Structure 1
Amino acid sequence: MIEDTLYQDKNVLILGIGNILWADEGFGVRCVETLNQHYRFSNKTKLMDGGTQGIYLVQHVQAADVLVVFDAIDYGLEPGTLKVIHDDDVPKFMGAKQMSLHQTGFQEVLAMAEFTGSYPKHLLLIGCQPVELEDFGGSLRESVRVQIEPAIQIALAYLKKLGVEPMGDNCTPEELAPGELGLNSYEGGRPSEYEAFRQGDPRFIKSTEGTS
């Protein structure tokens, strides 16, 4: 439950995590990217594209009094469903899948922060049930994409209760990641399924033709 204390002077971290290269895994990153494009906050509120940085996020979580996380979470619900989790329940629900053996789950990030005694006072997870995670190079499916704005509004309403509100429209946002990775650029530069070669490296395949 949110206390009466306002958090205007506390450190707020709004974090999007996930891998934009794997279709709906990019939901969290796209949420914080969209939020950054349309709103600006005081310098006490940090918006961050956390990607799949794993333990490298610990220092940022440790510094936060309030943590809001966007992520794609496999709850086993109807694809595109949003689910909101608070405080102590958050670690149970983090991470739809581990993309590699080298990627540290965000559960571990929270555990490390708690172990050091530097853990957010308030924690909110806004997760979206993915449709597709196996399309390498793909983008968000439509039923997930349309949940970006509702997810952002949930986050803004939560922060408002803590006394944290946007200062206005963000007309000239600082990019959270290289511009080429932005949703419009990413989708605009993606070749069609007909043009894209998705069977492996054609140089290798050609060089091994006819071999047993």
Structure 2
Amino acid sequence: MIVSTKEQAARPHGRVLILGIGNILWADEGFGVRVVEYLAARHHFPAPAELMDGGTQGLYLLPQLEGLDGLVIVDAIDFGLPPGTVHTVRGADVPSTIGARKMSLHQTGFQEVLALLDLRGHAPRKVALIGVQPVNMQDYGGGLTPPVAARVPEVAAAVLAMLAADYDIHPIPRAPDATQDGAGLMTAAVSRTAYENGRPTEAEACRYGDPRVLTRMGG
């Protein structure tokens, strides 16, 4: 994709992007998105820092990632560690970690994004990945599992610490009464509180299908 000169000029010099990737529809796979949602609700990020819900966009993210001074990726990654463990990877180890530990299609696509950025000479000057070991990524419509949900504030704090240490960027805390899910980062209907509290019961959703049908198909 080609980024126009006007688009490039509109972006502040030395951009540092905090990118949450993943699919909120599949339980712990939405971890990265929920972390940036948490950060947006509690802090204002002045330029050159930016927050982005990258979802599962893959190659469509390429124009947004060109020429960054720094990229901080947050995602659920299979590190082979105990569930809920937080682990940080930096530099050249990031794409290889995503490639070797991919658990979903969005991670395959993002590995390609990093490779293309490098090939085109637009790779971020610094890149880091803060990941959590998921518990469940197969529960369609499910929210974060308790061990992973408990890591959201911890990883958000790690992102803030990284911004301060590596880029001298200090996001401004929002007033307690001004915090809100999403804070403009996503629509209210899919904010974490609305999404998880609004999930129908197993009986209402027939979440796991009809065992009579599944048995016949499997047999």
The bucket for the TM-score relative to the shorter chain is: 0.7 to 0.9
How many residues are treated as equivalent by the alignment? 193
Give the stretch that moved more between structures: 80-89 or 175-184. Answer: 175-184
- Equivalent residues in 2 for 1:1-212 (5 A)? 10-94=14-98, 96-99=102-105, 104-161=108-165, 162-169=167-174, 171=178, 174-199=183-208
Once the two structures are superposed, residues 106-151 of structure 1 have per-residue CA deviations (whole angstroms, 9 ceiling, x without a partner) of: 1111011111111111111000000001111111100000111111
- Rounded to whole Å, the distance in 1 between the matches of 2:13 and 2:171 is 14
CA contact (8 A) 2:37 2:183 kept: no
Out of 21-30 and 8-17, give the one that drifted further: 8-17
Q: Distance in 2 between matches of 1:20 and 1:83?
A: 20
SS in 1 for 2:172: coil
Q: Does the 8 Å contact 2:70/2:125 carry over to 1?
A: yes
CA contact (8 A) 1:62 1:120 kept: yes
Q: Which amino acid is 1:81 matched to?
A: T
| Structure-2 change in CA distance of 1:73 and 1:104 (3 Å) | closer
Query: For 1:88 and 1:133, how far apart are their aligned partners in 2?
Result: 26
The percentage of counterpart residues that share the same residue type is 45
Q: Which runs of 5+ in 1 are unaligned?
A: 1-7, 206-212
Q: What is the DSSP-based 3-state SS (H/G/I as helix, E as strand, rest coil) of the residue aligned with 1:67?
A: strand
Shift of 1:33: 0.4
Q: Closer, same or farther in 2 for the Cα pair 1:177/1:130, shift >3 Å?
A: same
For the aligned residues, what is the CA RMSD? 2.1
Corresponding letter in the other structure for 2:31: F
TM-score when normalising by structure 2 = 0.82
Corresponding residue for residue 3 of structure 1: none
CA distance in 1, matches of 2:149, 2:29: 11
Secondary structure of 2:204 counterpart: coil
CA distance in 1, matches of 2:208, 2:162: 45
Sort the Cα spacing of 1:63 and 1:174 in 2 relative to 1 into closer, same or farther, 3 A: farther
